[in-house]
Amino acid sequence: MADPSAQVAPPLLTHLHCLSKMPYPPVTTLAVEMVGDLLLKAPAAVQQYPLQWTMLDTPADGSLFLVWVPPMLNGGCASDGFVWADADQGYSMELPKGYVSWTFLIYISFSKYDIAEVWVQNSRSRAVDSF
């Protein structure tokens, strides 16, 4: 697959998401088994719901997206309209028994806010793998 970010001006990469329009339902918790299922289905999802460059502006709690992250971001992610108070904490996780042998990275940021919020009570999780 050709690098989709080659078509985007480098200064914009920190603000744009290469996002699939796959309509995922909102989630309250994201179990590792669900992440594994979603990532295993990602290549088929991208065939049916192609990726396109777009901006995210403070997505609702529980939002779930399939996003391709350009290598130039070095594992980081583009802005999403929130101010994140802490750096992403990364750790690797292996899928449970019954899956192909596969380890992926999970990044979590625990505190974010936007200017309309009074309390900081949210977190962001990202599972990362290439397909």
Please tell me the pTM assigned to this model.
0.72
Distance, in Å, from the CA atom of 46 to the CA atom of 79, rounded to the nearest integer, reads 22
Indicate whether 131 pLDDT > 50: no
The number of beta carbons lying within 10 Å of the beta carbon of residue 36 is 21
3-state secondary structure of 73: helix
Structural tokens at position 48 = 């049916």
Contact 108, 123 (CB under 8 A): yes
**Percent of the chain surpassing pLDDT 70:** 63
Structural tokens at position 16 = 């744009």
Mean pLDDT of 59-72: 84
State pLDDT tens for residues 69-114. 888 887 777 888 776 666 667 767 776 666 556 666 666 665 565 6
Strand-pair partners of 23: none
